[in-house]
Chains A and B, each alone.
Chain A
Amino acid sequence: MRIVFKTSYDSDIDLHEHWRRRAKYAVLVGIMALLPFLVGEYYLAEAANTLIWALAGMGLMIAVGHTGQVSLGHAAFLAIGAYTDAALMNVGVPFWIAFPAAGLMAGVFGAIIAIPAVRMSGIYLAIATLAVFVIVEELVIMLEPITGGVGGIMAPSITAFGISFDRYGALGNFYWLILAVVVLVTWGYANLMRSPTGRSFLAVRDSEVSARALGINVTRTKALAFGLSSGVTGLAGALMGHYIGFFNYELFSIFISINLLLVVTIGGLGFIQGAFLGAILITGMPQVIAILRDSLNANFGINIGAVPGLDTMLFSVILILFIIFEPTGLYGRWLKIRTWFEIFPLARRDMFRRHKTYLKTERMK
């Protein structure tokens, strides 16, 4: 068991409570940075994909995990980010302007939606975002001169300051670019969560009534959180556009929104680390299924490849199991395991028992 000795009030809000934890993250980032030298092209591309999903997951995590606003339409913000970035670059705007612009566009759009939407409580917001998603999808088809309509649009290869970040030509550079964005966003996110703004997000999530009583402007906080959330998702969308190369509106289907929800729920709601764990699961699962499928086919002659929709089915079952048995997600489970080891002989099963809660209506009639 490690005892943390605090010598100043500042250490209460430190990002890492102990230097060893900070060192662990430094090592992790170091390994991630060295990845292009360690693995082949295929796995590097997969790693890049995972990082993009983690970025999008972090975006959704701000809304769902930290402010308690469920969004079923985050694919819309991915789309806005991707199309803004690609369309701007296609008219010759350099990447280092187009990329932030994509985030800004998605963020502003999200905040504008959020202002009326935050008047609605939980479930209504989820529905409104779903409607927004459908509307954005149709808008993409309508705005054909900008978005390429049904035909699709090409995300040009990135060149900034004379260095090529092409998805295929210079995968290593492209990977480092994504890694840099992800690290920066994560760092900003973690710091945001220990600032008054971040704390007010948590307060709004846990009880709107109490938050209001403490003097927090709930509407502004929710709109800000939703705007930030969609902005980060927009950045991820821009990167996803470059990763895919050529895309149309079908890339951003309702299933992407649901996969994103999967990322944050399975990863662990309310933990930044959860977005990463969820992203690893969601990008890793198809690989595992493919390997399993091949080995089953080769060794036992069972051809599960013939069953369509099996992947989605497996995802759904995993999701159901997680919601029922481990609502805190992978990261929550990891925290439990870690605590068990840290206080080794003293851990008891009831330490993490869930409180029994009773539901009260939001309708007062």
Chain B
Amino acid sequence: MEVIQLIIGGLANGCIYGLVALGFVMIYKSSEGVNFAQGDMMMLGAFIALGLGNADELGLPFWLAVPLAIAIMFGVGWGVERVVVRKLFGQPQFALVILTIALGFVFRFVAGSIWGYSPLVLETPFAGRNLGGGGLVISLADLVAIVVTLVLTLVLWLFFARTKVGLAAQAASQNQMAAYIVGVPVMRINSLTWGLAGAVATVAGVLYATRGAIDPNIGLLGIKAFAAAVIGGLGSLPGALIGGLIIGVVEPLAGRYIPGELSKMSPYIIMLVVLVTRPGGLFAQMHAKKV
């Protein structure tokens, strides 16, 4: 029973890792860049929802505050691409890595100076409500996290695999010049993907906030989500989710059955093992570069 309980909690956690990982993958899929600020975008999204929704802040109803926060973060993502990331167009990946790390610090500073550095709690309609049965206790927040993540992954997967814009985004990532030649508006596609990444990050942030307090440093969760994206293979949306779930489930189990520090290392050890044995991740999309 205890194991099942741990696994359910882990799945819900893993869904959040998976959602942040989806953000990484989306940007990677469309511009072959890695956005290290994704975790901090999640943090910022959660704080914006909190600022709009909490009674002592703006006090909007939850179901209005969250879509509004998603819209705002879409704008932030879009804006970041337009103002900063676009300047690096065509530069090596490495430049974007450093740039987004720095951006993450800026986000953290912004959130910290508006909302302070002490933990805050987002008021949600499903706080503290539990579903019981057969000796198990499933909190409503966990269930919401799992369902929302599954739906969102499906939608995004359909977007990238079935729609014209999604295919254009994939084309832009594989060969920018060729995509230009066949008429893909590469720049606009990039902006759109960054906006979407911001929106997905907000969903992840709100789900995270329903399950506990938030502070400006929760963005560091991005590192774990990153491990998730890598385990799944950067570039594969379902892979990101599965990677997130693997890490989410392994973490509490390791915490329960493996001593102290070793359990904290477990996500990274899994990631290293995957990287060493399958350098492209479980759902590899990478092949040897040909001349």
Residues of A within 8 A of B (CB): 64, 68, 70, 72, 116-117, 119-124, 126-128, 130-132, 134-135, 138-139, 141-142, 208-209, 213, 258, 261-262, 265, 307-310, 312-313, 315-317, 319-320, 323-324, 327, 356-365
Q: Which of B117, B173, B269, B275 contacts A116 (CB 8 A)?
A: B275
Contact: A317 with B289, CB < 8 Å?
Answer: no
Q: With A315-B105, A316-B106 in contact, do A361 and B272 touch (Cβ < 8 Å)?
A: no
Shortest beta-carbon distance from A244 to chain B in Å = 23
With A127-B226, A209-B291 as contacts: A323 and B88 at CB distance below 8 Å: yes
Question: B287 near A134 (CB under 8 angstroms)?
Answer: no
Answer yes or no: B137 CB below 8 A from chain A CBs.
no
In chain B, what residue has the closest Cβ to A133? B268
Within the assembled complex, what's the spacing in Å between the Cα atoms of A275 and B207? 43
Q: Find out whether the CB atom of B268 lies under 8 angstroms from the CB atom of A134.
A: yes
10 further contact pairs, Cβ within 8 A, besides A64-B94, A316-B102, A361-B32: A116-B276, A119-B279, A124-B230, A124-B234, A141-B261, A313-B109, A317-B106, A320-B84, A324-B88, A360-B175
Q: Determine whether B253 belongs to the interface, using a CB cutoff of 8 Å to chain A.
A: no
Residue contact A323 to B95, C-beta cutoff 8 Å: yes
Q: Mark B107-150, 1 if CB is under 8 A from A, else 0.
A: 01100110001000000000000000000000000000000000
- Complexed CA–CA distance, A130 and B93 (Å): 16
Chain B contact residues, CB within 8 Å of chain A:
31-32, 34, 84, 87-88, 90-95, 97-99, 101-103, 105-106, 108-109, 112-113, 117, 173-177, 180, 223, 226-227, 230, 234-235, 260-262, 264-265, 268-269, 271-272, 275-276, 279-280, 285-291
8 Å CB contact of B84 from A307, A324, A359 = A324
Contact A361 B174 (CB under 8 A): yes
Most buried by A among B91, B113, B235, B275: B275
**Do A357 and B271 touch across chains, with their CB atoms under 8 A apart?**
no
- Chain B, residue nearest A356 (CB): B90
Instruction: Report chain A residues within 8 Å CB of B31.
Output: 359
Asked whether A359 lies within 8 Å of B90 as measured between CB atoms, the reply is yes
User: Known: A130-B223, A313-B106. Contact between A362 and B261, CB under 8 A?
Assistant: no
Please give me the residue from chain A that is nearest to B281 by CB atom: A124
- Do the beta carbons of B279 and A120 come within 8 Å of each other? yes
- How many Å from the CB of A365 to the closest CB on chain B? 6
Tell me the complex Cα distance, A308–B114, Å: 11
Residues of B with C-beta under 8 A to A124: 230, 234, 275, 279
Expressed in whole angstroms, the minimum distance between the Cβ of B29 and any Cβ of chain A is 10
Centre residue among B103, B177, B265 by max chain A CB count within 10 A = B265
CA distance A258 to B223 in the complex (A): 14
- Check if B98 sits within 8 Å of A319, measured CB to CB: yes
Chain B residues with CB below 8 A from A258, complex form:
101
Structural contact, A363 and B287, CB atoms closer than 8 A: yes
Minimum distance in angstroms from B242 CB to a CB of chain A:
17
Q: Closest CB-CB distance, B27 to chain A, in whole Å?
A: 12
Q: A134-B268, A138-B264 are in contact. Are A362 and B113 (CB under 8 A)?
A: no
Decide if A357 touches B90 in the complex (CB within 8 Å). Answer: yes
Instruction: Using CB atoms, name the residue of chain A closest to B264.
Output: A138
Residues of B within 8 A of A131 (CB): 227, 268-269, 271-272, 275
Q: Which residues on the B side are within 8 Å of A261 (C-beta)?
A: 98, 101
13 A-B pairs (CB sep. < 8 Å): A119-B276, A127-B226, A134-B268, A138-B265, A142-B260, A312-B108, A313-B106, A317-B102, A320-B84, A324-B84, A324-B87, A363-B287, A364-B289
Q: Are A70 and B90 in contact (CB under 8 A)?
A: no
Q: Do A361 and B173 touch (CB < 8 A)?
A: yes
Kindly provide the distance from the CB of A132 to the nearest chain B CB, expressed in whole angstroms: 7
What is the CA–CA distance of A117 and B279 in the complex, to the nearest angstrom?
9
Provide the bound-state CA to CA distance between A345 and B275, in Å: 54
From B94, B176, B264, give the contact of A70 (CB < 8 A).
B94
Q: Is the CB of A135 within 8 A of B268?
A: yes
Sort A-B residue pairs by CB-CB distance and give the 8 closest, nearest first: A131-B268, A316-B102, A316-B105, A313-B109, A358-B177, A361-B174, A319-B102, A116-B276
CB atoms of B112 and A135 under 8 A apart: no
CB-CB nearest in chain A for B229: A127
Structural contact, A209 and B289, CB atoms closer than 8 A: yes
Residues in B whose Cβ lies below 8 Å from that of A313: 105-106, 109
A119→B272 CA distance, assembly (Å)? 12
Instruction: Name the CB-closest residue of B to A307.
Output: B113
Q: How far is the CB of A248 from chain B (nearest CB, A)?
A: 14
Do A361 and B88 contact each other (CB < 8 Å), given the known contacts A119-B279, A135-B265, A327-B95?
no
Q: Is the CB of A309 within 8 A of B112?
A: yes
Task: Please measure, in the bound complex, the distance between the C-alpha atom of A218 and the C-alpha atom of B174, giving whole angstroms.
Answer: 24
Smallest CB gap from A365: residue in B: B285
State whether A323 touches B99 (Cβ < 8 A): yes
Q: Which residues of A contact B113 (CB under 8 A)?
A: 307, 309
- Distance A110 CA – B271 CA, assembled complex (angstroms): 18
Contacts of A323 in B (CB 8 A): 88, 95, 98-99, 102
B277 to chain A, nearest CB (A): 9
A352 to chain B, nearest CB (A): 15
Q: How far is the CA of A190 from the CA of B87 in the complex (A)?
A: 33
A131 to B32, CA, bound (A): 21
Expressed in whole angstroms, the Cα–Cα distance for A365 and B69 within the complex equals 36
Shortest A227–chain B CB gap in Å is 17
CA distance A261 to B235 in the complex (A): 26
Q: Which of B99, B268, B287 contacts A364 (CB 8 A)?
A: B287
Q: How far is the CB of B39 from chain A (nearest CB, A)?
A: 12
CA distance A203 to B115 in the complex (A): 49
Among A121, A126, A362, point to the contact of B97 (Cβ < 8 A).
A126
* CA distance in complex: A365, B174 (Å): 8
Shortest beta-carbon distance from B253 to chain A in Å:
17
Partner of A128, one of B177, B223, B275: B275
